[in-house]
Amino acid sequence: MVTASAPGKVYLFGEHAVVYGEPAIPCAVERRATVTVEERTDGRLRVDAQDLEIEGFTVEYGTVDGDPGVEVPTELLEAATEYVDGAVEQARDAAGAPGAGFDVAVESDIPLGAGLGSSAAVVVATIAAAAAELGVTLDPREVADRAYRVELEVQNGQASRADTFCSAMGGAVRVEGDDCRTLDAPDLPFVIGYDGGSGNTGELVARVRSLREEYGFAADTVAAIGDVVRAGESVLGGDGDEASLAELGRLMDFDHGLLEALGVSSRSLDEMVWAAREAGAHGAKLTGAGGAGCIVALDETPETETALSYSKSCEQAFRAELAREGVVVS
């Protein structure tokens, strides 16, 4: 039996634009998905998902007819199994064991679909744990690459390497197309607000794609997000003093405005962003695909967390430390 965990993430800058080859800077945060894997001899796969911010259930299925033999809504079944299926296939491939079966238990304190990289963390942890259970230790970069292949397949070719690379490596990372690298970054005072909802990543990515193809100024907006990322990267290399935090926050505000112009924000996200800013945060923006879910703010004081906790749009507010470690196998 092997257990692995992987962190979620927030986007400091660059979501949506990263799909078109612009750079992005996600940062791993200490909210983790934990996956425990045990090999079984009958070739079947049993997925036990009891803590994914959805109603927990257990599914067992195999290679005979593909029928899971349970009565649950299709979208719920897919939420629990599609990413895990792909991750298990990657682990089997890495170990040269195509017929291996597993019991897989998934726990997570990362809300699903909220912009914190829940699917990436589950995929990364599952690949690392299942491969290790088969006797193969994978380098974090290989885990990241294999996890990206899973997300690319599940998300119909619209995924970027950002989420999976960040989850596997930890810390702050820079992703531009296939160029993925880690960054030196100070501990950043992240405050996260969660509205209790989730956005549909596929629909939101498609919406931006449609706008970008129809309007030249929408394409310019996507490119401008890339410019914000490049400006932010130069600031991030500092020591995290008040001046650099203020500049990072200002750039986060710019980024949110550009994402809002692309139509991926929402009333609840905007209200949380403004609550954070009015509380004195250096900056605040949505994180992830948008539509609903989470915002991230920079504030070393307790004021933003307090303000968000009183906001009608915010279901949960919490601090999140930068996760220096990525995927961890135990």
CA angle 149, 143, 298 (to 5 degrees): 95
Euclidean distance between CA atoms 25 and 229, whole angstroms: 7
The residue written with tokens 């079966």 in the block is 101
- For this structure, is 163 an active site residue? yes
Alpha helices in the chain (DSSP H): 74-95, 118-133, 140-154, 162-169, 201-214, 216-236, 242-261, 267-278, 303-310
Tokens 């100024």, residue? Answer: 217
Cβ proximity of 306 and 329 under 8 Å: no
Distance CA 294, CA 310 (A): 15
Query: Length of the chain, please?
Result: 330
Beta-strand relationship, 45-51 and 101-108: parallel
Which is catalytic among the residues 163, 253, 255, 299? 163
Q: In angstroms, what CA-CA distances link 92 with 96, 256, 326?
A: 6, 40, 22
Task: Identify the H or E element spanning 102.
Answer: strand 101-108
Catalytic residues: 163
